Amino acid sequence: MILTVTLNTALDITYRVRALRPHSTHRVSEVSERPGGKGLNVARVLAALGHEVTVAGFAGGATGRTVRDQLAETVGVVDALVPVEGPTRRTIAVVDTATGDTTQLNEPGPAITPAEWSAFQERYEHLLRSASAVALCGSLPPGVPVGAYAQLVRTARALAVPVLLDTSGEPLRRGVAARPDIVKPNAEELAELTGSHEPLQAIRSARRRGAHTVVASLGADGLLAENAAGRWRAAPPRRVHGNPTGAGDSAVAGLLSGLVENLPWPERLARAAALSAATVLAPAAGEFDRSAYEALAGQVAVTSEAPAA
């Protein structure tokens, strides 16, 4: 079983409009909603790839009930969310169908009490005992300590469960210091962590801070990864246009599935890059265009560079 943690779960709502113009009224041509937050997106992709997945985090209020009802209909995903008093947040993605651009609006999430945080930690440790890997994903809701991910990384490492961290800001900085097996920042998050906008220099800085492997999402330029064994670049054969929401989460799913399947790093990265590109072509977050993925899977170029110094 693969465990994904989404401390700030959400109901992802996607609107599609012909052209998004500020200060004007729009007619929405299509609406979709899915259980969201980074770890839930990861879980759906993993389940679609045939893996058994358990999701942990928080859910509360009417929005939380909607999230859980929809999760119950998702084959291969087990709901282990902890109930809370505060309402689960909503995230709104507005897709301009004329340009393919997306505007994102994210609510902050519910305020988590100390008792709710303690209940989550107990459930998390219990779930880890049957997990083959764990992904810690996304933002922290109000009330959760800023060092939460560092604590969760240490718990996983104590139980010898490989852990991937995908967050940003201060939670990422503290989490990296706890020495996760993999961190997967995008270019902006990596620059914020290290102070460097040069990807390779930033990756090496992140590794010195504690990460064993760093996989950086570089948008249309694909993925750049480095660990003690080497360095690799993976990029799809062409730029794709669509809704990028959830593309990084699909990359995480590719990395996790490759980890538990013991694939070599080049194959993990090729899968992650293909899934990420196929997600941009899908209509909503947490999904991927399967035909596009199958076509791209054998076309992603992975180049190996000199071993890391």
Percent of residues, the chain, with pLDDT higher than 70: 91
Split at pLDDT 50, 70, 90, the class of 243 is low
pLDDT tens, 112-162?
999 999 999 999 999 999 999 999 999 999 999 999 999 999 999 999 999
pLDDT higher at 262 or 299: 262
pLDDT value, residue 52: 95
pLDDT tens, 43-96?
999 999 999 999 999 999 999 999 999 999 999 999 999 999 999 999 888 888
pLDDT tens, 163-219?
999 999 999 999 999 999 999 999 999 999 999 999 989 999 999 999 999 999 887
pLDDT higher at 169 or 245: 169
- Beta strand segments in 89-187, E: 89-96, 102-106, 133-137, 163-166, 182-183
pLDDT value, residue 309: 52
Supply 217's token pair: 């999402």
| From 12, 79, 166, 249, the catalytic residue | 249
Q: Does 249 participate in catalysis according to the annotation? A: yes
pLDDT value, residue 134: 98
pLDDT value, residue 28: 87
Q: What average pLDDT does this structure show over 35-42?
A: 92
pTM of the model: 0.89
- Beta strand segments in the chain, E: 2-6, 10-17, 28-36, 53-60, 77-79, 82-84, 89-96, 102-106, 133-137, 163-166, 182-183, 213-217, 223-227, 230-235, 301-305
| 19 phi-psi bin (left φ>0, alpha ψ -120 to 50, beta other) | beta
pLDDT value, residue 218: 86
Split at pLDDT 50, 70, 90, the class of 307 is low
